[in-house]
Amino acid sequence: MAEMKDQIVILDFGSQLTQLIARRLRELGVFSVLLPYSASIDDIKKYNPKGIILSGGPSSVLEEDSPKRSVSELQAVAPLLGICYGMQLICHDLGGEVSKADLREYGLNHLTWKTPLLTGLTEQKVWMSHGDYIKSVPEGFEVLAQSESKHIAVMKSKDILCFQFHPEVNHTDKGTELLEHFCFEMCQAQPNWTSQGIVEDLKNKIKSQVPGDEKVLCALSGGVDSTVVAHLLTQVLGKERVHCVFVNNGLLRKNEFESVQDLYKELDLNVTAVDASHDFLSELSGVSDPETKRKIIGTVFIDVFKKSIAGIGKIDFLAQGTLYPDVIESVSPRGESVTIKSHHNVGGLPKDLNLKLIEPLRELFKDEVRKIGRHMGLPEKFLMRHPFPGPGLAIRLIGEISEKDLNTLRDADAIYIDELRNNDLYDQIWQAFCVLLPVKTVGVQGDARSYEKVLAIRAVTSKDGMTADWYDFDGAFMRKVSNRITNEVKGVNRVVYDVTSKPPGTIEWE
């Protein structure tokens, strides 16, 4: 993707914040790609990068088995930016000295600039997270700023810039401006990663990937991502070559199977609706482990698609709405870290399906998908719907799945979303939903003792789903939602609110 666009390569050394670097650059209009720190120099050169960023990470360059590579080799390709561990690796590899710090710097810190990169920048609040420090810089480097502990916080040479702090996080003042300096001043990159450019790149890629009269089966979930994929493929290849299948897996929200079909008719997509709810719920019966649920759902989806192909005729490709965060969480770019959770649409296709996989949005974040959907004319009310997980309500119903509990969860969720819309809160929130817990508590309903389930409600704000914070509702709204759910939904007598950010939690509970 973006072969004709200016690009920055980010080498991932294991930081939990690496994905945020990619997000910030794309917000500046510069395409960024994440590669493992060990990517070969030839693979890096294929992107013809305008610059290379070495991310932070949990390791110490003083450890023998820490991730390392030749900085000079990278320097010969493009200007470099080192962040946290990336700065220490650059210093260590080029002949400077890195040492263990007596006083580690975690969280907020204040810098004093000796030689400001930005006009008027003399003091700065930044976010740090490191246990080593730069004792002396390599030859040819100048120290530009120091931390409260008098540690070297910024160093620069002719074509290398290094920050001991994290400019990509919101806690760092003027972090975006510092990234702009690297991209536009040092790398001379152009901000040409726009909605129009993204759509053009995607269309060109689809044309080259699906040649001649080959046909595509597009898996529709009812969500924004798969719908944008279907609309994009149909624009490029035509309805006769793009066969969409919308599956009711029995895990959709209230009335969603019917309402989403109406939208697909408006978009003039070639859609076959399949009610396979019995197949999914039968396979999920008695299963409580979330990873097992996800794998079962993925397997049954493939079985449904096989049957659909038999009814359509020859199909060459399966299209999915996989996004970059799905890939990052399921398959680490480093290939070494712990998988956070598997995604049923990540990781390839079974060989006996005999289909090639096409995932046009695989390198995009959610907000970029919404931008290109808007550019292609999809309705705003649909584009701004909150994300809904591929496994559906299976991972919002904790424990074993039953039709009764699914209906309870659907009814409660519909009330919650209804109140968000009634109070003009829906568009302020990235994602809101209910979770039905396998826990019962004693209550009093209708002057009688009740022993019913607990329902958790969740609402978070986010830009891309990579990090998120819980939404701070006022008490009147919480009281209204709780009263409506406990009064109108059978099977629930207690409502609790989840006040966990991401990290440490994930947005979904499973």
Question: How many whole angstroms separate alpha carbon 497 and alpha carbon 505?
Answer: 14
- Half-sphere exposure in the Cβ direction for 183 (13 Å, CA): 28
DSSP states of 254-297: TTHHHHHHHHHHHTT--EEEEE-HHHHHHHHTT---HHHHHHHH
Contact 155, 143 (CB under 8 A): yes
Measuring CA to CA, which residue among 331, 357, 341 is closest to residue 295? 341
Contact 366, 350 (CB under 8 A): no
Contact 143, 152 (CB under 8 A): yes
Distances (CA, A) of 89 to 54, 443, 505: 9, 59, 30
- For β-strands 431-445 and 448-461, DSSP reports them as antiparallel
Phi-psi region of 480 (alpha: psi -120 to 50; beta: other; left: phi over 0): alpha
Distances (CA, A) of 313 to 214, 270, 354: 12, 14, 13
DSSP states of 421-432: HHTT-GGG-SEE
Distances (CA, A) of 482 to 129, 245, 456, 487: 40, 37, 10, 8
Verify cis geometry, omega within 30 degrees of 0, for the bond prior to 504: yes
Cα torsion 102, 107, 109, 115 to 10°: value is: 90
Catalytic residues: 84, 166, 168
